[in-house]
């Protein structure tokens, strides 16, 4: 049998249910893996060993009593530091919140626990989750398991690196501007950004309007089947979230062949390896019977501009907060200052009403997706950047356009699955499958086809140097 830490979440749950291994053995194997590889990666910021082993023992005792185990029985997971985990601090990556210990789980974390999953650690993130590289003054920088020179992505970079390196089979993060999909692409793992309203936001900590509209919680895993397993048990508790929609997880059948619009250049040229990854994924889908055709989403550039306008007006709340440099001094404050001109330029011409224009763009996308309900596209027009690149004003100027496709998905509340498709020059490559709202099932099915044609890339050990 392979090392327990190398197994998928689905396989671990099967082994525990079959009593082939104990839950304690599973949890201890992952804690040992964290102890071996995390010092080189700094992906897990806080190890919840005592609580995790206690939960494992409770699960094993319940199994001995003949109680029915949950579908995620004994599966270890990390949880990003901006998601509530009972007994742990919800820091948002900010030093001032290092002792902000909460007494309850976020709704979806409670649901995952009820299904048998066990939090074993917290995932690193940048301050506020507002950077596409994972580093903070509180926790330091996370390293990419593939290359010490390249970013692990952000803002869910700690969880992506932990999953990629075998520290856990599941990570829980969130995505307001690619913060699940981008680190998954950088680290060679899979991620699901659900539809707006699928997974409840925590009602005890109301977020600014822009984050309520644009950001969602979702899972990271090494296998698409594990994304599906986790997602199935993240959507059932409304938690007081007014956006929550109790929609069936499986939608109606669509006409066959399922058509896929292939976007190889989302308004800007892509790195050659990025474009090649999209073409490879398109070929795999076509071989499996999907109908693929080149396409370009309507109003893509304007969708990105409206995203930044909404985030500027209702997300940054600068007038309500102390200056950034007093809350998050150092590298983040420098990044924020340098990114400001690019952010302002990315917002484009002011809309009379950004929400009204969002609706207009949404109608246009809906009509366009009537022909091809799935979109295959890059997560970003660029590969994982070398660390420090996002502190270069010239480099930052082109970043919003490179990420245009991804933030449009956030703007419209659509689901998307990122799946790896191979390596180029030592770095993982990935694509995203985007679907109509509440059709995660279609995205996951297509992602599974791509995964079957390429195979998972991970787990991988820490990089040398």
Specify the CATH architecture of the domain 4-454.
Alpha-Beta Complex (3.90)
Tokens of 414: 């659509």
CB-CB neighbours of 363 under 10 Å: 11
Q: How far is CA 227 from CA 189, 284, 288, 351, 458, in A?
A: 11, 20, 21, 37, 15
pLDDT at 73: 97
Return the pLDDT at 2.
84
Kindly state the average pLDDT of the residues 105-121.
97
Q: Among residues 88, 136, 147, 155, which one is catalytic?
A: 155
Reply yes or no on whether the pLDDT at 464 is more than 90: no
Query: Per-residue pLDDT tens for 123-144?
Result: 999 999 999 999 999 999 999 9
Is residue 304 part of the annotated active site? The answer reads no
The pLDDT score that the predictor gives to residue 323 is: 75
pLDDT tens column, 296-348 = 999 999 999 999 999 999 986 555 667 777 788 889 999 999 999 999 999 99
Confidence (pLDDT) at 206:
80
Residue 374: predicted pLDDT = 98
Domain boundaries defined on the chain: 4-454
**What pLDDT sits at residue 54?**
98
Tell me the average pLDDT across 414-432: 97
Per-residue exposure over 410-433, b if at least 16 CB sit within 10 Å of its own CB, e if not = bbbbbbbbbbbbbeeeebbbbbbb
- Active-site choice (80, 136, 195, 304): 80
Q: What pLDDT digit, counting tens, does each position of 213-253 carry?
A: 999 999 999 999 999 999 999 999 888 899 999 999 999 99
Question: Given this model, what pLDDT does residue 202 score?
Answer: 81
pLDDT of residue 322: 74
Residue 406 has pLDDT above 90, yes or no: yes
Instruction: Report which of residues 462 and 165 the model is more confident about.
Output: 165
Under a CB-based contact definition with an 8 Å cutoff, are residues 405 and 292 in contact?
no
Query: pLDDT tens digits, residue range 24-60?
Result: 999 999 999 999 999 999 999 999 999 999 999 999 9
Whose CA is closest to 114, among 55, 172, 64, 57?
55
Catalytic residue, chosen from 179, 193, 195, 304, is 179
Cα–Cα distances in Å, from 35 out to 31, 121, 269, 429?
A: 6, 11, 42, 28
The tokens for 323 are 């200056």
Answer yes or no: 401 catalytic: no
CA distances from 414 to 192, 326, 369, 447 (A): 11, 35, 12, 16
pLDDT tens digits, one per residue of 252-271? 999 999 999 999 999 899 99
pLDDT of residue 187: 98
Question: Can you say how many angstroms the Cα of residue 63 is from the centroid of all Cα atoms in its chain?
Answer: 32
- The answer to whether the CB of 384 falls within 8 A of the CB of 185 is yes
Residue 74: pLDDT over 60: yes
pLDDT for the residue 319: 59
Rounded Cα distance between 177 and 154, Å, is 10
Burial class (CB in 10 A: 0-12, 13-18, 19+), 256: exposed
pLDDT band at 98 (very low <50, low <70, confident <90, very high): very high
Mean pLDDT of the chain: 96
Based on the residue annotation, tell me whether 193 is a catalytic residue of this protein: no
Element (H, E) at 234: none
Residue 317: per-residue pLDDT: 58
**pTM across the whole model:** 0.97
- What is the mean predicted confidence (pLDDT) over 366-393? 97
Sign of CA dihedral 136, 139, 141, 146: negative
């Amino acid at each position: 049998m392979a090392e327990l830490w190398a197994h998928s979440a689905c396989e671990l749950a099967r082994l525990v249910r079959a009593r082939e291994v104990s839950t304690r053995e599973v949890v201890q194997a992952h804690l040992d893996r964290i102890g071996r590889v995390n010092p080189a990666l700094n992906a897990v910021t806080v190890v919840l060993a005592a609580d995790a082993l206690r939960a494992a023992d409770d699960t094993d005792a319940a199994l001995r009593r003949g109680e029915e185990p949950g579908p995620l029985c004994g599966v270890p997971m990390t949880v990003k530091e901006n998601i509530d985990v009972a007994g742990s601090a919800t820091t948002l990556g900010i030093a001032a919140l290092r002792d902000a210990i909460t007494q309850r789980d976020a709704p979806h974390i409670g649901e995952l626990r009820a299904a048998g999953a066990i939090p074993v650690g917290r995932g690193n993130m940048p301050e506020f989750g507002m950077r596409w590289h994972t580093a903070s003054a509180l926790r330091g920088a996370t390293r990419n398991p593939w290359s010490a020179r390249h970013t692990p992505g952000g803002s869910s970079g700690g969880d992506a690196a932990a999953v990629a390196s075998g520290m856990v089979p599941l990570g829980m993060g969130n995505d307001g501007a690619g913060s699940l999909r981008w680190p998954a692409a950088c680290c060679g793992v899979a991620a699901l950004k659900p539809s707006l309203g699928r997974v409840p936001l925590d009602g005890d900590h109301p977020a600014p309007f822009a984050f309520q509209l644009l950001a969602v919680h979702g899972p990271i895993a090494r296998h698409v089947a594990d994304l599906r397993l986790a997602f199935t048990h993240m959507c059932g508790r409304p938690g007081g979230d007014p956006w929550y929609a109790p929609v069936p997880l499986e939608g109606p059948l669509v006409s066959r062949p399922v058509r896929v619009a292939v976007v190889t250049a989302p308004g800007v040229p892509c790195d050659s390896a990025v474009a090649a990854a999209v073409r490879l994924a398109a070929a795999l889908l076509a071989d499996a019977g999907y109908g693929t055709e080149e396409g370009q989403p309507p109003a893509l550039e304007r969708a990105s501009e409206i995203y930044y306008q909404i985030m500027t007006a209702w997300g940054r709340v600068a007038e309500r907060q102390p200056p950034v440099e007093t809350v998050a001094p150092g590298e983040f404050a420098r990044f924020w200052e340098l990114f400001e001109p690019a952010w302002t330029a990315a917002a484009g011409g002011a809309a009379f009403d950004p929400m009204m224009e969002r609706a207009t763009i949404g109608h246009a996308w809906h009509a366009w997706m009537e022909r091809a309900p799935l979109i295959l596209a890059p997560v970003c027009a660029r590969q994982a950047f070398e660390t420090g690149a996002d502190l270069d004003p010239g480099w930052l100027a082109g970043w919003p356009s490179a990420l245009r496709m991804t933030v449009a998905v956030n703007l419209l509340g659509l689901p998307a699955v990122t799946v790896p498709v191979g390596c180029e020059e030592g770095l993982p490559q990935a694509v995203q499958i985007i679907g109509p709202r509440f059709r995660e099932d279609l995205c996951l099915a297509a992602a599974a086809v791509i995964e079957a044609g390429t195979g998972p890339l991970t787990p991988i050990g820490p990089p040398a140097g």
